[in-house]
Amino acid sequence: MNYDGMHYEGMIFRPPSEAYSILLQVTVGCSHNKCTFCEMYKEKRIFKIKSDQQIMADIEYAAKNHRRSDRLFLCDGDALIIPQKRLIRILGEIKRRLPWVTRVGTYANTKSISKKTVEELKELKALGLTIAYMGLESGDDVTLSRINKGADSGRMIDMGRKIRQAGIKLSVTVLLGIAGRERSMEHARETGRVLSAIDPEFVGALSLMLTPGTPLYKDHLAGKFPVLEAKELLQELGVMISSTHLSNGMFHSNHASNYLPIKAKLPGDKNKTLEMIEKALAGKISLKPEHLRAL
């Protein structure tokens, strides 16, 4: 598929904060692609790295047609897994042909992070890769196993710290409601524990919205997985924030899936944020209507 002169295979996804970035697809699909809640890359069953010829052609097009965009995001689900020499070549070409780009971002999972040394990650940072997005989803090991995340909480902590050690900014995504009702509080507390141990610059909380065709959606239809109600999600969020101790990070829950938009600087805004959640639970603050929520 060609869109605006760039070559894309399948549906393209990017973090909300990359809405105005140049989207350069360097891989197709996700190297893990087994999470029970995610359908983003299910149509792309075979993960692959695109040819250097196609990648360089897209960089050349961006150089001529996207001079107003100073950010670039490497798609698809896991560009960091590209072998180091090839990734250096790609980032070097971006730096050469798009010198106005001040930030390059990528999704990263524990598998791809583990394949790079800290020195290699520092090398990528020096070439402009300055932010990585990692899906933690939960810090609860039982939940991580159930959703087939492919890593336990200890692994998540180690790989998150590795990114931070390299000086690359880290944005971690967590999923409210992913543990169901049975382990909601364990999920909230353990996620706070893991976030505190990683201490990322950014945390983004999304509320689970089941997607037809995913294993978790099928479990829901079979009565095996309950979807939490708005107040239960808020209670979970409150416990999660209360359990999260960041040295200097932003905690967002302003994604379209959430009932209560929050943008808090931690630790300074923690008490104010918890008070806001209590007011929302008491009905003193209106929640987003169901029909306005979206993935």
CA 80 to CA 252: how far, in whole Å?
24
Burial class (CB in 10 A: 0-12, 13-18, 19+), 188: buried
DSSP 290: G
Residue 64 makes CB contacts below 8 A (sequence gap 6+) with none
pLDDT at position 160: 98
Q: Domain 134-295 carries which CATH code?
A: 3.30.750.200
Query: Could you tell me the residue ranges of all domains in the chain?
Result: 1-107, 134-295
Number of H helices, E strands in the chain: 10, 12
* CB contact at 8 A, 287 and 260: yes
Looking at domain 1-107, its CATH architecture is: 2-Layer Sandwich (3.30)
Instruction: Tell me the residue type at 43.
Output: E
pLDDT at position 3: 57
Instruction: Tell me the residue type at 108.
Output: A
pLDDT at position 78: 86
- Tell me the sheet residues that pair with 133: 107, 171
CA 227 to CA 221: how far, in whole Å?
10
Q: What is the pLDDT along the chain (295 residues), one digit of tens a residue?
A: 555 689 999 888 899 899 999 999 999 988 888 899 988 877 777 889 999 999 999 999 999 999 999 999 999 888 999 999 999 999 999 999 999 999 999 999 999 999 999 999 999 999 999 999 999 999 999 999 999 999 999 999 999 999 999 999 999 999 999 999 999 999 999 999 999 999 999 999 999 999 998 999 999 999 999 999 999 999 999 999 999 999 999 999 877 788 898 999 999 999 999 999 999 999 999 888 887 777 6
Percentages (nearest 5) of helix, strand, coil residues in the chain: 40, 20, 40
Six-digit token pair at 81?
Answer: 């897994």
Do domains 1-107 and 134-295 share one topology? The answer is: yes
